[in-house]
Amino acid sequence: MAVEKFEQLTSTAVPLPIENVDTDQIIPARFLKATTREGFGDNLFRDWRYDKNDQPIADFVLNNPIYSGEILVGGKNFGCGSSREHAAWAVGGAGFKVVISSFFADIFKGNALNNGILPITVSEDFLVKIFSGIEADPKATFKVDLENQELTISATGDKTSFDINGYKKECLLNGYDDIDYLLNIKDKIEAFELAR
């Protein structure tokens, strides 16, 4: 299953200035009973978003109509904990194509990339600028340019570059996934097995 191509995106962003957001918060375990990848977006941040009677918690950011967009901005160490890829499916399912943080947990980062979601790591200072920008104007937009590996705060023109390895960048730009690559080198894998 190839992933959706990603080149550029200009969007408003949803701020979640909480540190150590673990994947149990992103998608609680009781919602992992599905056998398909679809439908997880509805339960993204379920227990922060809804109370025990399934009523929306008004002050949670995803329930606040002034915030919207395809970019989610999280605090340091975003996506720690369980390796559940359901967390990436939930983020993607809720319409996010980019997640920005000053620090990502390794497994979440990999899972996001494998689902065509771009995790962008910025400096702590730049993260503060983004949060301040959204606080000043919830309709503030951000431009993500994958080709040039640049993130721009549209209102101020403040720019930062971000890292992504060349291979993964090519995958996202072209909509390739890792399995395509591995299947193409299957002869080599079999030769490796024989040589051991």
Partner 1 sequence: MSFLINKVLTKLYRAVIFSIFRKLDLSFSNLTTCIFLKFKSNLTVAGKTLFDKIWDAHVVQEIPDGPSVLYIDRHLIHEVTSPQAFNGLGRRGLKVMRPNQTVATPDHNVPTINQDKPIEDELSRFQVDTLTENCNKYGIDLYGLNTDYQGVVHVMGPQLGVTQPGMTIVCGDSHTSTHGAFGCIAFGIGTSEVEMVLATQCIMQPKPKKMRINVNGQLKPNVSPKDVILYIISKMTAAGGTGYFVEYSGNVFREMSMEGRMTVCNMSIEMGARGGLISPDIKTFEFVEGKKYSPKGDDFKKAVAKWSELYTDADAVFDREVDFDASDIEPMITFGTNPGMGVKITGKIPELSSIVGSEQPSFQKSMNYMGFQAGDTMIGKPVDYVFIGSCTNGRIEDLRVVADYVKGKQKAENVTAWIVPGSKEVERQAIAEGIVDVLEEAGFKMRQPGCSACLAMNDDKIPAGKYAVSTSNRNFEGRQGPGARTMLASPLTAAAVAVAGKVVDPRTVLETA
**In the stretch 44-73, what mask flags binding to partner 1 with x, by CB under 8 A?**
---x----x---------------------
Residue among 134, 28, 152 at smallest CA distance from 72: 134
Site for partner 1 in 87-116 (CB under 8 A): 88, 103, 105-107, 110-111, 114-115
Site for partner 1 in 115-154 (CB under 8 A): 115, 124
41 in contact with partner 1 (CB under 8 A): no
Site for partner 1 in 170-189 (CB under 8 A): 177-179, 181-183, 185-186, 188-189
194 in contact with partner 1 (CB under 8 A): no
C-alpha span between 13 and 140 (Å, rounded) = 8
Q: Is 43 helix (H, G, I), strand (E, B) or coil?
A: helix
What is the closest distance, in whole angstroms, from the C-beta atom of residue 108 to partner 1 in the complex? 9
Nearer Cβ to partner 1 (11/87):
87
Residue type at 40?
F
**In the stretch 2-21, what mask flags binding to partner 1 with x, by CB under 8 A?**
---------------xxxx-
DSSP readout, 64-127? -TT---SEEEE-SSBTBS---THHHHHHHHTT--EEEES-B-HHHHHHHHTTT-EEEE--HHHH
The sheet carrying 8-16 orders its strands as 118-121, 98-101, 71-74, 8-16, 141-145, 150-153, 159-161
Q: Are 14 and 62 in contact (CB under 8 A)?
A: yes
Binding site for partner 1 (CB under 8 A): 1, 17-20, 22, 24-25, 28-30, 32-37, 47, 52, 75-77, 80-86, 88, 103, 105-107, 110-111, 114-115, 124, 165-168, 177-179, 181-183, 185-186, 188-189, 192-193, 195
